[in-house]
Structure 1
C-alpha cells in the first residue's frame, strides 16, 4: 500500500494518521515537504534576525564602528542572510538529535519513520517561531517570550535565567508536539502504552531542561 506524507493530518489527527502510516510500504512526497520545511525555516530565521537587528546594534564593537546608515542596512542584510543559512542548518541538528534519542528506545520503529515523526514536530516549532515574529518586530529584541505559553510568568516571577527559559518552553507547541510524538510511538511501536508515555514525557522534560540550561549559560544568567 502506498501513502502520501502529509504534515497537517499528522498534526491534527496523529492517532488516526499514524495508524495508516504504519501500513504504508511506500511513502510519497516526504522530500518535497522536507525541502519546504527547510525553506520556511530559513525564511523565518532570516526574518527573526532582521527583526532583532536593533539589539545587535548595541553590541560594543558595532557601536565602536560608528557605521553610517547605508553600512547599517548592509550589516542588517548580512545578519539576516546569516540567519537564513542558520535556519536551514538548524533543522538537521534538531531532527538528528531528536531522532537518535527516540531511536535509542524504539529501534523497532526504525530511523526513517522516527525522522519523519520529528519532521512533523518541527513544523510546530516553525509555527511557534512565526507567532513570536510580530513581537520581535515590535520591540527589536533577539529573544522574546512565547505568547502561547508560560514565558510571561517567568518574566514576572523570575529573573532572566534558567527558570524563565524553562517556563518559556512550556507552551502550546511543545505540549502539542509531545502529544503527536506519543500517538505516533503508540501506533508505530509494539511496545506498551506506558513505555511510550514514559519515553515521551521523559524525553520532553530532558530536552526542555537541557536547552534551558544551555540558554541560561549562554546569557550568563543560569540563576
Structure 2
C-alpha cells in the first residue's frame, strides 16, 4: 500500500495520520516535499540574514572597515547567501539529531520512520521563523522575540542569558511539535503511552535546553 506524504494532515491530525503509516510500503512524494523543506529553509534563513544586516554593521571589524554604501550592499547580499547555505544545513542537522535521539528509545519504530516524523516537525520550526521575520525587518535585529510564546516574559523577568533564550523557545510551534511527536510515537510504537509521553517531554526539554545554552554562550550572556 502506498501512502502520500501530506504535510497538513501530519501536523493537524497526527494521531490519525500516523496510524496509517505502518500500512504504507512507500511514502509517495516524500522526497519531493523534503527537498521543498530544504529550499524553504534556505530561503527563510537567507531573508533572516538579510533583515538582520543592520545588527551586523555594528560589529567592530565591519565598522573598522569603513565600507562604502555599495560595499555594504554587496556584503549584505553575501551574508544573505551565506544564510541561505546555512538554511540548507540546519534542517539536515536538526532532523538527524532529533531522529538519533528518538531512535535510542524507539528502535522498534525504525530510523526511517523517525526521520519521516522529524521532517514534518521541522516544518513547524520554519513556521516560527516565518512569524519572526516581520519583526526582524522592522528592528534589524539578529534575534527577536517569538511573538507567539513566552519570549516577552523572558525579556521582562530575565535581563540576559539562558532562561531568556529558553522562555523564547516555549511557543506555539515548539509545543505543537511536541504534540506531533507524542502522537506519532503513540501510533508507531508498541511501547506504553506513559513511556512515549516521558520520552517526548525529555526530547523537548533536552533540545530546548541545549539550544538555549548554545545561544546564551554565543551571545556571551550565559547568566
TM-score bin, normalised by smaller chain:
over 0.9
2: CA distance between counterparts of 1:100 and 1:117? Answer: 12
Secondary structure of 1:3's aligned partner: strand
Task: Determine the structure 2 residue equivalent to 1:64.
Answer: 64
Verify: 1:75 aligned to 2:75, yes or no: yes
Q: Could you state the TM-score of these two structures normalised by the residue count of structure 1?
A: 0.99
Secondary structure of 1:19's aligned partner: coil
- Flag as ranges the 4+ runs of structure 1 deviating above 4 A: none
Verify: 1:202 aligned to 2:202, yes or no: yes
Which residues of structure 1 form unaligned runs of 5+?
none
Secondary structure of 1:104's aligned partner: helix
Task: Determine the structure 2 residue equivalent to 1:26.
Answer: 26
Task: Determine the structure 2 residue equivalent to 1:134.
Answer: 134
Once the two structures are superposed, residues 139-167 of structure 1 have per-residue CA deviations (whole angstroms, 9 ceiling, x without a partner) of 00000000000000000111121110010
2: CA distance between counterparts of 1:221 and 1:88? Answer: 28
Which residues of structure 2 form unaligned runs of 5+?
none
Secondary structure of 1:154's aligned partner: helix
Verify: 1:179 aligned to 2:179, yes or no: yes
2: CA distance between counterparts of 1:47 and 1:160? Answer: 26
Alpha-carbon shift at residue 217 of structure 1 (Å): 0.9
Task: Determine the structure 2 residue equivalent to 1:12.
Answer: 12
2: CA distance between counterparts of 1:210 and 1:63? Answer: 32
Task: Determine the structure 1 residue equivalent to 2:50.
Answer: 50
Secondary structure of 2:72's aligned partner: helix
Alpha-carbon shift at residue 219 of structure 1 (Å): 0.9
Alpha-carbon shift at residue 21 of structure 1 (Å): 1.5
Alpha-carbon shift at residue 6 of structure 1 (Å): 1.1
Q: Could you state the TM-score of these two structures normalised by the residue count of structure 2?
A: 0.99
Instruction: Between 176-185 and 23-32, report the one with greater CA deviation.
Output: 23-32
